[in-house]
Amino acid sequence: MIELHTWFTPNGRKISIMLEECGLPYTVHPVNLGKDEQLDPEFLKISPNNKIPAIVDTDNNLSLMESGAILLYLAEKSGKLAPTDEAGRWKMAEWLMFQMASVGPMFGQVHVFRRYGKGENAGATERYDKECRRIYGVMDKRLADNEYFLGGGYSIVDIAIFPWVARWNWQEVDLTEFPNVLRWLKLLAARPAVRTGWNIPENDQPLPIPGEGEFA
């Protein structure tokens, strides 16, 4: 059994979506970031960096923090959503690190300056807006020749990137400028596991799809 400690952030949603996709049994332990529950001493025992998500696998008492590491672990444990050939594994590592190093940190900064500090720092907003759109360009080019980020099909790379792109409205990005990303976003959003995982734990942030409104 996987014990998932999470909140409804892009990083948290990666793991709830993955668990829904791979079918491993799990229980959810909400960690309310608005109440600083990530600083609770008991939570710090499994996530020393005081961030969600984190898991405990009760089958072997292993605890893990960092969403990328958790995705790799769950893929190996379930035998799903990761290539097994050497070239495929390294391509997976390459694009997963792209998400961890570029998509998450840069889109997160856009969220700070666009949603939470709008108008407070024009220079920083411009800088991160520009980088955000550059990254969308990289993704759009990759998806021009691939249905998913890996040529072998749907994988943990798509799961890692999806919750950040699904916050396109926070970034004030017009996804029609990136048609391949938009096509990919709609493809993933149609998956039942993605829809279910988006709402774990239960929250009031519907999944927005350009041109199709918002749905839970």
CATH code of residue 50? 3.40.30.10
The count of domains in the chain is 2
Identify whether the C-beta of residue 114 lies closer than 8 Å to the C-beta of residue 170: yes
Q: Is the pLDDT of residue 43 over 60?
A: yes
Confidence of residue 216 (pLDDT cuts 50, 70, 90): very low
**Whether residue 70 sits in one domain with residue 13:** yes
What is the domain range of residue 11? 2-78
Q: Is the pLDDT of residue 125 over 60?
A: yes
**Whether residue 62 sits in one domain with residue 36:** yes
Average pLDDT for 198-202: 92
For residues 197 and 38, what is the distance between their CA atoms, to the nearest angstrom?
21
For residues 142 and 50, what is the distance between their CA atoms, to the nearest angstrom?
34
Q: How far is CA 13 from CA 8, 44, 57, 61, 147, in A?
A: 6, 20, 18, 23, 22
**Whether residue 171 sits in one domain with residue 107:** yes
Which CATH number covers residue 92?
Answer: 1.20.1050.10
Portion of the chain with pLDDT greater than 70, in percent:
97
Average pLDDT in the chain: 94
- Residue that terminates a domain, selected from 78, 109, 132: 78
Is 185 within a domain?
Answer: yes
**Whether residue 169 sits in one domain with residue 128:** yes
Portion of the chain with pLDDT greater than 90, in percent:
87
The model carries a pTM of 0.94
